[in-house]
């Protein structure tokens, strides 16, 4: 534990015991003044020893006896109880992480802890850059909190949480939240609190990006799915045959729509929570609202012999097993099909490529693209 963490935790405990220590001081001061009145012939040093219970006046009067009875009890309950009961117990890591965030200066604030945010945090930590995180869901940042990282757990649209992240002193803010409404509210509040910091906002829709970039917000908006499409367009260029796209987010929809516009191609989008996509659905784009993790799930809707490309775009870590299983089955039964798998952990590349599939990482690609857009003093600016 760092020295700063230690003093912050001591500060928190002292704050909790503030009233008890105030009462102890008042009792001691009252005792000192009592001895000052009842023992007028003694000097200040002796009176101080009387009030601390080190000595007793001779002969012992009623006041001295009463004080000698109560003082050790209060001293033991308040002081020694505080030391033994509080310093030896585990401190509240959530409160400590919040206080750590408040002490940051000229730092990077990351709002929303998803895959792209993980890469930003890792880079800042490795390069000893000051940062803090705001995340509404405690389970996502539990490991960071236990490791004493500066984390504010709470709604990022709440002014109090932004203040704990010390937005006023931040040099830049990265907003990596999928909810457009939350992202806009955060941007507006941050700009009011800090007119000068650089704000980077992940946003998909063009009209939202345009709004964020205009005064007075003056934010830099970007779309990770648009950046990811640059490589995917090369993979689909000049291809023929039907395609399968599996996933739920804007990148998944963008891939499916892009393929559907190519001549003599047809695409089947498997989105189990489909509630509408951002693009105009044409007759070449078929949406199936089912969770497809087996070949039999796909065969029920499409002839797999006619498929030339498959894009598996799930982004939950828990769904990587399904992605790997489906990839292995395509390699075994339909080796002629090109399979592309979205991953977020570079260590998993070898597992996927073992089945002759290609991988793409939207978070790593987005992070590298974002590094090219930030200012030279940014916490994630490329190191020479």
Q: Give the CATH number of the domain where residue 170 resides.
A: 3.40.50.720
In degrees and rounded to multiples of 5, residue 133 shows phi and psi of -125, 140
Residues 310 and 322 in one domain: yes
- Range scoring the smallest mean pLDDT among 21-25, 335-339, 345-349: 345-349
Residues 213 and 334 in one domain: no
Would 376 be classed as within a structural domain?
Answer: no
Residues 195 and 243 in one domain: no
Instruction: Write the pLDDT tens digit of every residue in 270-298.
Output: 999 877 777 788 899 999 999 999 999 99
Residues 43 and 97 in one domain: no
pLDDT over 50 (residue 309) = yes
Count of structural domains within the chain: 3
Query: 18-38 vs 44-51: helix axis angle to the nearest 10?
Result: 130
Would 180 be classed as within a structural domain?
Answer: yes
pLDDT band at 105 (very low <50, low <70, confident <90, very high): very high
Residues 125 and 20 in one domain: no
Where do we find the tokens 């991953």?
Answer: 343
Contact by Cβ (8 Å): 116, 202? yes
DSSP string of 359-372?
EE-HHHHHHHHHHT
User: Residue range 59-72: average pLDDT?
Assistant: 83
pLDDT band at 1 (very low <50, low <70, confident <90, very high): very low
Please name which of 37, 29, 28, 33 lies closest in space to residue 71, comparing C-alpha atoms: 28
Instruction: Write the pLDDT tens digit of every residue in 112-142.
Output: 998 899 999 999 999 999 999 999 999 999 9
pLDDT over 60 (residue 194) = yes
- Which is more confidently placed, 303 or 71? 303
pLDDT over 80 (residue 380) = yes
Would 246 be classed as within a structural domain?
Answer: yes
Residues 117 and 167 in one domain: yes
Would 369 be classed as within a structural domain?
Answer: no
Residues 30 and 100 in one domain: no
Query: What's residue 76's pLDDT?
Result: 75
At residue 132, the 3 state secondary structure works out as: strand
Please name which of 82, 96, 92 lies closest in space to residue 8, comparing C-alpha atoms: 96
Spell out the residues 6+ positions from residue 57 whose beta carbon is closer than 8 angstroms to its own.
35, 38, 39, 42, 50, 64
Contact by Cβ (8 Å): 319, 300? no
Residues 164 and 72 in one domain: no
User: Residue range 92-103: average pLDDT?
Assistant: 83
pLDDT band at 10 (very low <50, low <70, confident <90, very high): low
- Which is more confidently placed, 259 or 18? 259
Please name which of 264, 255, 270, 302 lies closest in space to residue 284, comparing C-alpha atoms: 264
Boundary (domain end) residue, out of 24, 52, 86: 86
Query: What's residue 345's pLDDT?
Result: 76
Residues 136 and 165 in one domain: yes
In degrees and rounded to multiples of 5, residue 288 shows phi and psi of -115, 120
Average pLDDT, the chain: 89
pTM (2 d.p.): 0.74
Instruction: Write the pLDDT tens digit of every residue in 142-182.
Output: 999 988 899 999 999 999 999 999 999 999 999 999 899 99
Burial class (CB in 10 A: 0-12, 13-18, 19+), 187: buried
Boundary (domain end) residue, out of 65, 86, 107: 86
Residue 291: how many other CB atoms lie within 10 Å: 16
SS3 content of the chain, % helix, strand, coil (to 5): 50, 15, 35
Contact by Cβ (8 Å): 110, 134? yes
- Token pair, residue 15, equals 């704050």
- Token pair, residue 142, equals 């539990």
Boundary (domain end) residue, out of 188, 222, 256: 222
Query: What's residue 267's pLDDT?
Result: 97
Query: What's residue 85's pLDDT?
Result: 56
Spell out the residues 6+ positions from residue 253 whose beta carbon is closer than 8 angstroms to its own.
269, 271, 277, 278, 279
Q: What is d(CA 308, CA 198) in angstroms, rounded to the nearest whole number?
A: 44
Domain limits for position 97: 93-222
Spell out the residues 6+ positions from residue 250 whose beta carbon is closer than 8 angstroms to its own.
204, 223, 225, 278
* Angle at the Cα of 66 from the Cα atoms of 63 and 67, rounded to 5 degrees: 85
Where do we find the tokens 């509404």?
Answer: 136
Residues 310 and 350 in one domain: yes
Would 380 be classed as within a structural domain?
Answer: no
- Which is more confidently placed, 160 or 13? 160
Would 384 be classed as within a structural domain?
Answer: no
Q: What is d(CA 346, CA 359) in angstroms, rounded to the nearest whole number?
A: 9
pLDDT over 80 (residue 90) = no
Would 41 be classed as within a structural domain?
Answer: yes
Q: What is d(CA 358, CA 354) in angstroms, rounded to the nearest whole number?
A: 10
> Hey, which of 45-54, 207-216, 337-346 has the most confident mean pLDDT?
207-216
- Range scoring the smallest mean pLDDT among 75-84, 229-238, 284-293: 75-84
């Amino acid at each position: 534990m760092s020295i700063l963490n230690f003093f912050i935790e001591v500060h928190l405990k002292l704050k909790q015991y503030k009233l008890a220590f105030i009462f102890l001081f008042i009792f001691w001061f009252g005792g000192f003044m009592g001895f000052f009145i009842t023992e007028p012939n003694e000097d200040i040093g002796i009176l101080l020893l009387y009030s601390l219970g080190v000595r007793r006046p001779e002969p012992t009067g009623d006041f001295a006896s009463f004080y000698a009875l109560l003082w050790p009890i209060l001293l033991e309950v308040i002081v020694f109880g505080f030391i033994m009961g509080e310093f030896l117990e585990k401190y509240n890591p959530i409160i400590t992480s919040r206080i750590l965030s408040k002490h940051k200066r000229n730092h990077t604030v990351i709002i929303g802890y998803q895959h792209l945010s993980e890469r930003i945090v890792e880079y800042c930590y490795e390069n000893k850059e000051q940062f803090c995180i705001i995340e509404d869901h405690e389970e996502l940042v539990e490991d960071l909190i236990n490791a004493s990282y500066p984390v504010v757990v709470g709604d990022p649209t709440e002014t109090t949480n932004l203040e704990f992240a010390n937005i006023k002193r931040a040099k830049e803010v990265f907003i990596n939240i999928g909810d457009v409404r939350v992202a806009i509210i955060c941007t507006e509040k941050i700009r009011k609190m800090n007119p000068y910091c650089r704000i980077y906002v992940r946003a998909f829709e063009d009209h939202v990006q345009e709004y964020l970039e205009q005064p007075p917000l003056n934010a830099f908006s970007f779309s990770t799915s648009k950046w990811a499409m640059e490589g995917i367009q090369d993979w689909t260029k000049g291809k023929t045959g039907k395609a399968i796209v599996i996933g739920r987010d804007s990148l998944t929809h963008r891939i499916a729509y892009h393929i559907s516009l190519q001549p003599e191609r047809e695409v089947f989008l498997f989105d189990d929570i489909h509630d509408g996509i951002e693009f105009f659905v044409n007759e070449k784009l078929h949406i199936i609202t089912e969770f497809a993790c087996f070949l039999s799930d796909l065969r029920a809707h499409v002839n797999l012999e006619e498929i030339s490309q498959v894009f598996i775009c799930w982004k939950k870590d828990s769904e990587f097993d399904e992605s790997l299983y489906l990839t292995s089955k395509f390699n075994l039964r339909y080796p002629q099909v090109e399979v592309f798998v979205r991953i977020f952990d570079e260590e998993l590349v070898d597992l996927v490529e073992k089945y002759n599939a290609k991988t793409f990482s939207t978070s790593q690609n987005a992070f590298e693209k974002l590094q090219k857009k930030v200012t030279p003093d940014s916490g994630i600016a490329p190191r020479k």
